[in-house]
Amino acid sequence: MTGPALREHMHRAYRHDSAARHVTGLAAYADDLVEPAGMLHACLGLSTAAHADIAEMDLTEVGSAPGVVGVLTAADIPGENDISPVGAGDDPVFADGVVSFYGQSMFAVVATTRAEARRAARRARVVYEPRPAVIEGEDALETVSEPLTLARGDVEAALDSAPRRLKGTLRVGGQDHFYLESHIAFALPGEDDEIRVVSSTQHPSEVQHVVAHVLAVPSSAVTVNVRRMGGAFGGKESQSNLFAAVAALAARKFGRAVKLRPDRDDDMTATGKRHDFRVDYDVGFDDEGRILAVDSVLTARCGFSVDLSGAVSDRALFHADNAYFFPAVRLRSRPMRTNTVSNTAFRGFGSPQGVMAAERIVEEVAYGTGRSTLDIRKTNFYGGPGRNLTPYHQPVEDNILPRLVAEIEERADYAPRRQAVLDFNAKGGVLRRGIALTPVKFGVSFTATWMNQAGALVHVYRDGSIHLNHGGTEMGQGLFIKVASVVADCFQVDLDCVRITATSTGKVPNTSATAASTGSDLNGMAAFEAAETIRRRLVAFAADNWNVEPGQIAFEAGRVRIGNQDIAFAELVEAAYMARVQLSATGFYRTPEIHWDRAAGRGRPFYYFAYSAGVTEVEVDTLTGEYRVTRVDILHDAGRSLNPAIDLGQVEGGFIQGMGWVTTEELWWDGEGRLRTHAPSTYKIPLASDCPPVFNVHLAEWSQNAKPTIGRSKAIGEPPLLLCASVVEALSMAVASTAGYRYCPRLDTPATPERLLLAIERLGQEGAE
Amino acid sequence: MTAVRRELRFLVNDEEVVLGDAGAGDSLLDFLRLRRGLRGTKEGCAEGDCGACTVLVGRLREGDVRYEAINSCIRLLPSLDGCHVVTVEHLAGADGGLHPVQQAMVDCHGSQCGFCTPGIVMVLVALWLERPRPSEAEVRRALQGNLCRCTGYAPILRAAAAAGDYGLPEDDGLVRNREAVAARLAAMADGNRVELERGSVVVPADEDDLADALEAEPAATIVAGATDVGVWINKDLRDIAPAVFIGHLDGLGRIAAKDGAIGIGATASYSDAEAALTEAVPGLADYWSRIGGWQIRNMGTVGGNIANGSPIADLPPVLIALGAELVLRKGGKRRAMPLEAYFLDYGRQDLAPGEFVEEVRVPVPAEDAWLSFYKVSKRRDEDISSVCAGFMVRVREGRIEEARLAFGGMAATPTRARAGEAALCGRNWDEAAVEAARQALDRDFTPISDWRASAEYRALVARNLLTRFYLDHSPAASS
């Protein structure tokens, strides 16, 4: 007898599981949930000094404002006044005695309505005694964590003996996450010391632990739930802690449900961003542009506390080679403490800044030798005898960049278009064009090795319906639909038989943040393990019950073939239940092979690499510095994609987000350390009209992961963002054309129209001198 | 004395709302979410920049209901009397399933996190109602007021292009019910003044009633499109009462050509004024597309953009270059002045208590006038300018006869570059004249540095815009 064909759910272009709910407004975010009667609203009181002793904080007027139920300060914290994700003790819920940045939480006011709480918060009278404030990272003297050095070979000797040598400085700006849904948390007190928290967070387990520490209760008393976030991008990895902790403190103190939803301005002022970096590089190379030695120092503005800055600045070093082999290399991090908001995770987690440094070096060598940047790239790619070792001594074993780059050159018509750009610029008009092809090599795994673990929980109910839960969170990236397709594949049931459920610390404990692009790698495997455990039990039961060999049992399209019989999946499940077979299982996954010795700067921090290549063309108006990105072509390596539609969306979205970072998104602090770009009126992320009119994005369909990841897929969240280096270089080329390509424009980011115009002026003056 | 009603009446989706307790600063968004439980509409920024809160508002115009996409976060309840508010919950396809725009968004993978999605859907519905098969340029223009942080917009653009394949407006519920809604709105329109909160909120019956209301309460905040006022409320927590709402006064929003000028009534929105002005003024259409986003152009008014005296407002440099005249009214008295005379200093305008902007009269440009309008901003669309400029130059027989160079973003008020103009007038239209004007700008302006641009950049761009103007018009000079 022939059964129905196997139906593959993995690798199919399923829509986002919430798509219909998104478009109808029925997808509920934390602020949309039904509110318990008597719920109160909290608002934070933020500091208005960058660094000062709090000489006096008079909250009398706050407490007596209409609708106010009470105020909370550091004195109201029963446990530790610390929300540091690394337990550093340097990140208070409420500043106590001293404020360390402009916009730091000092107190909270709780009122009957959110409007009343907001009004009341502004009635605080605070007297500051200023202390010296350090705003810029490069002015800072103190580090927030131990710097890292990655080194291989004798870099000084190699630099000294190199035929050519160049030094330079690159400044790379920060970036606000600008998730459309601002931070929010909502806490409900339970019996005794129990508390439930709904948080918009990528890291429910950390919120749980932080709330427990702040309230001085065991973690078992705290349950954190999150169904979905309205965007996160790293901004809700550790930054949710503050809002959850305050909501929980207030709920505990007043015995009522309490919600804390900062407005956009408070959100952008009080929460961390992508680190801005200064990179000082020293590169030795030969006349052909072969890089011989690189010595770079990467200085990061970390803000007032360590938060995740240690790991962020480490990852910047891990990617400061991007795709290039440096025969002798020394990369040093300087994670600097400043009196600004504590910078944090943001899609790429330091790697984009590292890649920008690598690509600047390529540009310098190209302008230095007069060769094209693509030639310099190809000359220096990893590959060939003795040219496969990274600065952290992990060999590059899965390099597919030569093929990706060759294919994108072909697809994007790179060579003829570059010639057309050169010809266009040769006419000498006001408008200038630029084109650039840049590659990406991205290391996948948390560099904190222990974080590479995940759990899942699968229940099969008697009617054959399946309840799926895992430690990953949904922020729009399509993790839930990917993992559901893994489970549907395992049981060979329709996707809608798999119920996707909210992430909860009560179901799967001790989870890692959904971060570092690892969501589907980790949770997909964990869910597979859980489903597979149940499937094996069902097979064992069926073999026994129907007296057939396990090999004669197959799951096929909602049915199960057992020898010569063919029964519905639900029928088998019901029979198994009656025979007292356990129909619930946990799954667990830990990434194999990885290890990292930070002190030695050696190891295998990454399980594998993901690759990408992109070509960007721009047109610049040299009278105003305004520009358009006119065409982008991308060929991206998603391994064997778990969901090509979702992955395409990650590539398109990630690229545009990176483009925003390097073009229009500018964080601007005034002399007092006050962020003046704290809302969309002043902080400009890309619009639909910024999307390139020609935007060709493809996945490399031939690729599959060399490692046995789930479905041989690869991580997708972060790598595409790094292609934004091609935008910078294309703009740089247009600028360089105004001075006959004689000078490397050394364009810092964000490359705003202002930076472009001033760079054009600068090159004009250099040419005159 | 006009009859007074003490409650607002409007429609939300299918339901009639009668509201006696709306405060001057109460937003439509909070009303929808907190009082009506309609939580599909989201707050992203509360300043009209992200579009997550977009809803449609329909209002009777000459017997028909015209729906416009607006930002509900800065739309104030008293401005909604007699309107039909349509939220994402109201959308449906002809078969009761998803609306064509919604289905296109689902099929094109147009949502990721989904938080901006209801607002994007509402804007695309507004576009689809007007143009079910829009051009790519029309889609990009329609979406200028909506931010999405996940998708990079590519799938949303695909969905917008495809929506017309899923259904056409003639089958749509909003279109089919237009007459019934018009009848319901007409029944609400009793011609009364509305007063709320013990008279501190006034929605006047007509223009004369407005003049009376302001004479009675000269300190009242005048609220038209609320694209500024809404931000004062949401961000500065400003109490705007007493307040007088004028956005609904059709008589104050008339656009009419008279005596060689186009009269734009104070409450005409940017969208209302667009056709008349961009047809009469060559070169203005592109500039007009860069004012705010679509929602802001539907809400913000020409009068409001002038009245508040912002040095970075988009319209004053344009209108000053065109030689516009401003008409102010107080009670029954009117006075007129050249627009540039209205702006006295930063935050200070030539406006008496109880006086209001009634009209701006824009002379139809002379046939031989060269006109250009430039806006330079960090992001091309929906951004506030670093520098904006309106230039008008008339050249007779090779000599510059008249030059009006108006700038925004260069000084404490929108202002003319008198030294620059003087440097041009009487000279031949050539590079030397432009160079002289470029140099003269340094005497006109000492711009500031802020988060939008440095003083150095502003000064350089202002000079370069003169060069751009020359390049744009020098071929015409020789021909």
State pLDDT tens for residues A53-102.
999 999 999 999 999 999 999 999 999 999 999 999 999 999 999 999 99
Give the pair of three-digit tokens for residue A249. Answer: 């403190």
pLDDT at site A766? 82
DSSP helix/strand/coil, B194: strand
- Inter-chain touch B42–A181, beta carbons under 8 Å: yes
Contact residues for B363 (Cβ-Cβ < 8 A; gap 6+) = B260, B261, B322, B323, B324, B325
Residues of A in contact with B110 (CB under 8 A): 23
Residues of A in contact with B378 (CB under 8 A): 664, 666, 684, 752-754
Give the neighbor-by-neighbor strand order of the sheet with B387-396.
B369-376, B387-396, B399-408, B415-416
Q: Is A98 on the interface with B (CB under 8 A)?
A: no
CA distance A380 to chain B (A): 31
- Find the CB nearest A23 among B98, B231, B379: B98
pLDDT at position A177 over 60: yes
- Inter-chain touch A681–B47, beta carbons under 8 Å: yes
DSSP helix/strand/coil, A32: helix
Choose among A3, A57, A54: nearest CA to A566.
A3
- Find the CB nearest B471 among A177, A430, A649: A430
Q: What's the N-to-C CA distance of chain B in angstroms?
A: 62
Fold of A35-133+183-261: Aldehyde Oxidoreductase; domain 3 (3.90.1170)
- Find the CB nearest B454 among A24, A119, A754: A754
**A·B CB contacts under 8 A:** 246
3-state secondary structure labels for all residues of B378-442? CCCCCCCCCEEEEEEEEEECCEEEEEEEEEECCCCCCEECHHHHHHHCCCECCHHHHHHHHHHHH
In A341-447, which ranges are continuous DSSP H helix? 351-369, 373-380, 401-411, 414-426
Contact residues for A283 (Cβ-Cβ < 8 A; gap 6+) = A159, A165, A166, A167, A291, A293, A294, A295, A361, A364, A365
Q: Is A41 on the interface with B (CB under 8 A)?
A: no
pLDDT at site A3? 42
- Express each pLDDT in A390-416 by its tens digit: 999 999 999 999 999 999 999 999 999
- Express each pLDDT in A217-263 by its tens digit: 999 999 999 999 999 999 999 999 999 999 999 999 999 999 999 99
Residues B51 and B219 sit within 8 Å (Cβ to Cβ): no
- Express each pLDDT in B147-188 by its tens digit: 999 999 999 999 999 999 999 999 999 999 999 999 999 999
DSSP helix/strand/coil, A684: coil
Q: Is A179 on the interface with B (CB under 8 A)?
A: yes
Maximum pairwise Cα distance, chain A: 91
Of the residues A701, A718, A754, A761, which is catalytic?
A718
Nearest CA in chain A to B105: A23
Q: Is A123 on the interface with B (CB under 8 A)?
A: no
Cα torsion A650, A651, A654, A657: sign: negative
| One-letter amino acid of B417 | A
Q: What are φ and ψ of residue A225, in 5° steps?
A: -120, 145
Choose among B274, B289, B270: nearest CA to B224.
B270
Q: List, in sequence order, every residue forming a beta bridge with A107; answer none if it has no partner.
A: A45
Residues of A in contact with B384 (CB under 8 A): 681
Rounded Cα–Cα distance for residues A112 and A65 (Å): 11
pLDDT at site B467? 97
Give the pair of three-digit tokens for residue A220. Answer: 């078992």
Helices A725-737 & A753-768, crossing angle to 10 degrees? 40
Residue A113 half-sphere exposure, CB side, CA atoms within 13 Å? 9
Kind and range of the H or E run holding A560: strand A559-562
- Inter-chain touch A689–B461, beta carbons under 8 Å: no
Nearest CA in chain B to A669: B451
Q: Is A668 on the interface with B (CB under 8 A)?
A: yes
- Find the CB nearest A656 among B152, B454, B467: B152
Average pLDDT over residues A9-36: 97
Give the neighbor-by-neighbor strand order of the sheet with A608-621.
A431-444, A608-621, A627-636, A694-699
| CA A346 to each of CA A177, A215, A609, B227: distance values in angstroms, whole numbers, following the listed order | 7, 28, 19, 32
Q: Given pLDDT bands bounded at 50, 70 and 90, which one contains residue B336?
A: very high
Mutation pick from B29, B74, B124, B378 vs chain A, by most beta carbons of A within 10 Å, is: B378
Q: Given pLDDT bands bounded at 50, 70 and 90, which one contains residue B479?
A: very low
The per-residue b/e assignment along A471-484, b for 16 or more CB within 10 angstroms, e otherwise, is bbbbbbbbbbbbbb
Kind and range of the H or E run holding B68: strand B64-71
Q: Are strands B255-258 and A431-444 parallel, antiparallel or unpaired?
A: unpaired
- Express each pLDDT in A544-599 by its tens digit: 999 999 999 999 989 999 999 999 999 999 999 999 999 999 999 999 999 999 99
SS3 content of chain A, % helix, strand, coil (to 5): 35, 25, 40
pLDDT at position B443 over 70: yes
Mutation pick from A14, A16, A21, A24 vs chain B, by most beta carbons of B within 10 Å, is: A24
CA distance B471 to chain A (A): 10
pLDDT at site A50? 98
Residues B342 and B325 sit within 8 Å (Cβ to Cβ): no
pLDDT at position A8 over 50: yes
CA distance B222 to chain A (A): 23
Interface ipTM above 0.90: yes
Rounded Cα–Cα distance for residues A153 and A174 (Å): 32
In terms of phi and psi (left: phi > 0; alpha: psi -120 to 50; beta: otherwise), the region of B409 is: left
Q: Average model confidence (pLDDT) for chain B?
A: 96
Q: Given pLDDT bands bounded at 50, 70 and 90, which one contains residue B1?
A: low
Helices A401-411 & A414-426, crossing angle to 10 degrees? 60
- Of all residues in chain B, the percent with pLDDT exceeding 90 is 97
Q: Is A277 on the interface with B (CB under 8 A)?
A: no
The per-residue b/e assignment along A186-217, b for 16 or more CB within 10 angstroms, e otherwise, is bbbbeeebebbbbbbbbbbbbbbbbbbbbbeb
Helices A644-662 & B154-166, crossing angle to 10 degrees? 130
Choose among A607, A698, A620: nearest CA to A655.
A698
pLDDT at position A660 over 60: yes
pLDDT at site B474? 84
- Inter-chain touch B113–A230, beta carbons under 8 Å: yes
- Find the CB nearest B45 among A21, A680, A686: A680
DSSP symbol at A293:
E
- To 5 degrees, how large is the angle CA A549–CA A550–CA A554? 120
Choose among A724, A738, A749: nearest CA to A616.
A724
Mutation pick from B113, B147, B156 vs chain A, by most beta carbons of A within 10 Å, is: B113
Same fold, A19-26+453-590 and A348-378+388-443+602-759: yes
Give the number of residues written for chain B: 479
Rounded Cα–Cα distance for residues A685 and A701 (Å): 31
Give the pair of three-digit tokens for residue A237. Answer: 């990895």
pLDDT at site A365? 98
| One-letter amino acid of B391 | F
Give the pair of three-digit tokens for residue A196. Answer: 């439930």
Give the neighbor-by-neighbor strand order of the sheet with A98-99.
A98-99, A52-58, A125-130
Whether the predicted model's global pTM rises above the 0.80 cut = yes
Residues of B in contact with A478 (CB under 8 A): 112
- Find the CB nearest A26 among B40, B87, B152: B40
- Inter-chain touch B109–A649, beta carbons under 8 Å: yes
- Find the CB nearest A230 among B115, B450, B468: B115
Residues of B in contact with A265 (CB under 8 A): 235
pLDDT at site B84? 98
Rounded Cα–Cα distance for residues B186 and B37 (Å): 27
Residue ranges and CATH numbers for the domains of chain B are 4-89+176-245 (3.10.20.30), 100-171 (1.10.150.120), 253-478 (3.30.390.50)
- Express each pLDDT in B104-121 by its tens digit: 999 999 999 999 999 999
Mutation pick from B13, B35, B45 vs chain A, by most beta carbons of A within 10 Å, is: B45
In B206-293, which ranges are continuous DSSP H helix? 207-216, 229-236, 270-280, 285-288
Fold of A19-26+453-590: Aldehyde Oxidoreductase; domain 4 (3.30.365)
Options 3.30.70.20, 3.40.50.9100, 3.90.1170.40, 3.30.365.10; which CATH number does A348-378+388-443+602-759 get? Answer: 3.30.365.10
| CA A228 to each of CA A181, A476, A527, B114, B446: distance values in angstroms, whole numbers, following the listed order | 10, 8, 18, 9, 50
Q: Is A1 on the interface with B (CB under 8 A)?
A: no
pLDDT at site A529? 98
CA distance A550 to chain B (A): 41
Give the number of residues written for chain A: 769
Q: What's the N-to-C CA distance of chain A in angstroms?
A: 86
CA distance A749 to chain B (A): 13
Q: Given pLDDT bands bounded at 50, 70 and 90, which one contains residue A4?
A: very low
pLDDT at site A769? 63
- Inter-chain touch B467–A623, beta carbons under 8 Å: yes
Rounded Cα–Cα distance for residues A49 and A125 (Å): 13
> Quick one: how far is CA B251 from the chain centroid?
18
pLDDT at position A768 over 80: no
pLDDT at site A512? 97
Q: Given pLDDT bands bounded at 50, 70 and 90, which one contains residue A318?
A: very high
Q: Average model confidence (pLDDT) for chain A?
A: 97
Q: List, in sequence order, every residue forming a beta bridge with A140; answer none if it has no partner.
A: none
Choose among A538, A581, A533: nearest CA to A559.
A538
- Inter-chain touch B380–A180, beta carbons under 8 Å: no
Each domain of chain A, given as residue ranges in start order, spans 19-26+453-590, 35-133+183-261, 348-378+388-443+602-759
- Inter-chain touch A179–B115, beta carbons under 8 Å: yes
- Inter-chain touch B468–A623, beta carbons under 8 Å: yes
Residue A385 half-sphere exposure, CB side, CA atoms within 13 Å? 0
pLDDT at position B407 over 90: yes
Helices B117-130 & B154-166, crossing angle to 10 degrees? 50
Q: Is A685 on the interface with B (CB under 8 A)?
A: yes
- Inter-chain touch A691–B152, beta carbons under 8 Å: yes
pLDDT at site B475? 63
Rounded Cα–Cα distance for residues A144 and A324 (Å): 29
Choose among B186, B237, B176, B242: nearest CA to B46.
B237
Q: Given pLDDT bands bounded at 50, 70 and 90, which one contains residue A644?
A: very high
Nearest CA in chain A to B106: A19
- To 5 degrees, how large is the angle CA B313–CA B318–CA B324? 110
pLDDT at site A6? 63
Q: Is A718 a catalytic site residue?
A: yes
Nearest CA in chain A to B159: A23
Mutation pick from B98, B372, B379 vs chain A, by most beta carbons of A within 10 Å, is: B379
pLDDT at site A7? 72
| One-letter amino acid of B457 | Y
Average pLDDT over residues A712-736: 98
- Inter-chain touch A180–B115, beta carbons under 8 Å: yes
Kind and range of the H or E run holding A93: none
